[in-house]
Chains A and B, each alone.
Chain A
Amino acid sequence: MLNKIGVANKDLVLSRFFDEKTLVKPKAILECYEEIPCNPCSTSCPFDAIHIGENINKKPELDVDKCVGCGICITSCPGLAITVVSIKGEKAIFKIPYEMNPKPVKGDIVSGVNRHGEVICDVEVVRVDGHQRHDRTVILDVAVPLIYLHDFITVRV
């Protein structure tokens, strides 16, 4: 499915996720499913939590114990393939990369979208981080109903 329509199937997605206990703290979800010559996620991580190795074609592996969910990898990834997620009660708080206009503001309720581009729910934008160090990629913190933990991937404003 990834090779035909660009959408990772449920098994692939789950292979990058962690259990709900682990996600009490924010962790990076590296949705990089293909070998391509690329390693800035690994070289940018200040906690050495992303491993690729000498052959930069290898897929990144997350050392979940080292990962603190800082999100530096989110805007280092040229493929916008990384999000950070943590679970707070009945909500999953996602940090996602966003490079479209219009940009939402804190407090906005916007559409939550799945990997197929289908609207699945309403989500609340709880933080907008457009710091210069992210080089024009904005990080949105978004509160998503927990039931969509493995479906939600981005917003449509």
Chain B
Amino acid sequence: MRIEKHPILSFTEKKDIPFTFEGQEVMGKEGDTIASALINLGITTFSHSIVLDRPRGFYCAIGNCSSCQMTVNNRPNVKTCITTLEPNMEVFVQKDKGVFK
């Protein structure tokens, strides 16, 4: 849900950045963080809680709360809210505590 017109801010057209989410090819925009690109796509579940398997999403947006951690390019526990989106990143919903293979 991109904001197109805003009374104060100007959002210029930015370059598309292709990446994959759970194996599916999706698009973000230049300047996005991984989290903002996912939220724009309507994705709200970023991980599951370890014991009760409850869906977990995004909370603070500035790298404090660790709610948004996902597995990116095989690396777990990436704070997606402060990680800039790069082309062809492979983003997965984190399923456990995260093990760096």
**A residues neighboring B (CB under 8 Å):** 99-101, 103, 136
Contacts and interface: CB of A to CB of B under 8 A. Distances in A.
Contacts of B5: 101
B9 to A, nearest CB: 9
Nearest to B9: A136
Instruction: Please classify the interface of chain A as helix (H, G, I), strand (E, B), loop, or mixed, using the class held by over half of its residues.
Output: loop
Question: Which of A100, A103, A136 lies at the interface centre, i.e. has the most chain B CB atoms within 10 A of its CB?
Answer: A136
B4 to A, nearest CB: 10
B60 interface: no
Contacts of A136: 7-8
Interface residues of B, number: 4
A38 B93 CA distance: 47
B15 interface: no
Nearest to B6: A101
A91 B5 CA distance: 33
Contacts of B7: 99-101, 103, 136
Nearest to A102: B5
Given A100-B7, A101-B6, A101-B7, 6 more contacts: A99-B7, A99-B8, A101-B5, A103-B7, A136-B7, A136-B8
Contacts of B6: 101
A117 B6 CA distance: 22
8 contacts: A99-B7, A99-B8, A101-B5, A101-B6, A101-B7, A103-B7, A136-B7, A136-B8
Interface string B2-36: 00011110000000000000000000000000000
A136 B8 CA distance: 6
A101 B7 CA distance: 6
A132 to B, nearest CB: 13
A80 to B, nearest CB: 12
A13 to B, nearest CB: 26
Nearest to B8: A136
A100 B7 CA distance: 5
Contacts of A100: 7
Question: Which of B6, B7, B8 lies at the interface centre, i.e. has the most chain A CB atoms within 10 A of its CB?
Answer: B7
A79 to B, nearest CB: 15
Contacts of A99: 7-8
A105 to B, nearest CB: 15
B2 to A, nearest CB: 15
